[in-house]
Structures are given as C-alpha cells and as structure tokens.
C-alpha cells in the first residue's frame, strides 16, 4: 500500500535546483513541464489532468534526492516517464462511471402516447399500414425501402411523400384535439 507523500518546501527547492541552477530559469522550466504534463493528460482523456500532473511532479520531487547526482540529460524526460506510469495507474483505477439516473416518463408524455395510439386506431387500415411501413429502416436502407414501397403501391416516390404528409398532418391534428380534451 502506497503512503501519500506531499510536496514540502525543501523538496520543492531541491526539485527546482535539479531543473536548473538559476532559480528563475528553474521556475520557467517547472511551469513548462507542468503545462506539458497537463496537456498530455488532457489529450489522453483524463478527467483531472491538473491533479495527475501534480501527482507526477510530487513523485519526481520525492525521487530527486536519489537521482540528482547520477541523472544525465533532459530532466523533463524523467517527468514524462513518470507521467506514463501515473497515467497507467489512473486507467487501472479509474472508477466506472455511474449510469445516468433512470428517466421518469412524465404523465404528459404518457398522455401524448395514448392520444397517438387512439388516433392511429382511427386511421383506415391501409393508411395505418402505409405510415408504419414508411417510417421503417434507417439511413440508406430507409431510402431504398421507401422507393420500393412507392413501387409496390404503384405511385411515384414524391406522390408517396405527399400522401404520408397528409396522413401525418391528420394525425397531428387528431393528437392535438385529443390532448385538448383530456
């Protein structure tokens, strides 16, 4: 089990000294590294990139006393290596998001549905069948299905659209009247 380690002033001073002997340059490098870490975690889809960047910096600061004397090369690369491990831990531990709360269907929606059902029953069987068939399928299949439906009943696709529009307008009017009386 890992023990939580917080960055203190002494550790932070050692980290800055490791980044650059000039304190002003070290501060600039620190800010640039932190900005890059946040960018990395954001691009990887993390929900808390600032926290993960701070965790990475804390881990590096904890290691600085051990590695400062022997480390050769760009210090920022060490941060990015630690960031990779922090990200892997984040992915492993990431909590499964809670499912959205179940939507309660309001009574108004129930009433609208009841009215639609009632109005659909009032249609002639041919019109009811036609409108139900018209709204089947999706994407390209929908286009092909509607073209085939028009061919089957012996009318042009545009005439089919006009006929469906008329049926739909009658249904809408019926539903509005039903809701007004209920």
How far is the CA of 88 from the CAs of 53, 91, 124, in angstroms?
A: 13, 5, 62
| Model pLDDT, residue 1 | 37
Q: Does 58 score more than 60 pLDDT?
A: yes
| Model pLDDT, residue 134 | 92
Is residue 59 a contact partner of residue 37, using CB atoms and an 8 Å limit?
A: no
Residue with more model confidence, 81 or 45: 81
| Model pLDDT, residue 107 | 66
Euclidean distance between CA atoms 82 and 59, whole angstroms: 8
Is residue 63 a contact partner of residue 5, using CB atoms and an 8 Å limit?
A: no
| Model pLDDT, residue 73 | 84
Span 3-23, average pLDDT:
83
Q: Which range among 84-98, 120-134, 149-163 shows the weakest confidence by mean pLDDT?
A: 84-98
């Amino acid at each position: 089990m890992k023990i939580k380690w917080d960055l203190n002033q002494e550790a932070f001073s050692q980290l800055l000294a490791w980044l650059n002997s000039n304190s002003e340059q070290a501060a600039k490098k620190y800010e640039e590294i932190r900005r890059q870490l946040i960018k990395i975690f954001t691009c990887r889809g993390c929900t808390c990139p600032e926290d993960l960047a701070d965790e990475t910096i804390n881990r590096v600061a904890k290691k600085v006393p051990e590695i400062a004397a022997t480390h050769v090369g760009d210090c920022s690369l060490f941060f990015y290596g630690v960031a990779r491990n922090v990200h892997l831990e984040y992915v492993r531990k990431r909590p499964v998001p809670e499912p959205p709360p179940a939507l309660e269907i309001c009574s108004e929606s129930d009433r609208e549905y009841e009215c639609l059902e009632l109005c659909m029953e009032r249609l002639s069987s041919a019109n009811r069948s036609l409108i139900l068939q018209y709204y089947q399928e999706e994407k390209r299949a929908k286009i092909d299905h509607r073209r085939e439906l028009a061919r089957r009943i012996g009318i042009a696709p545009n005439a089919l659209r006009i006929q469906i529009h008329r049926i739909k307008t009658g249904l809408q009017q019926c539903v509005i009247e039903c809701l007004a009386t209920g």
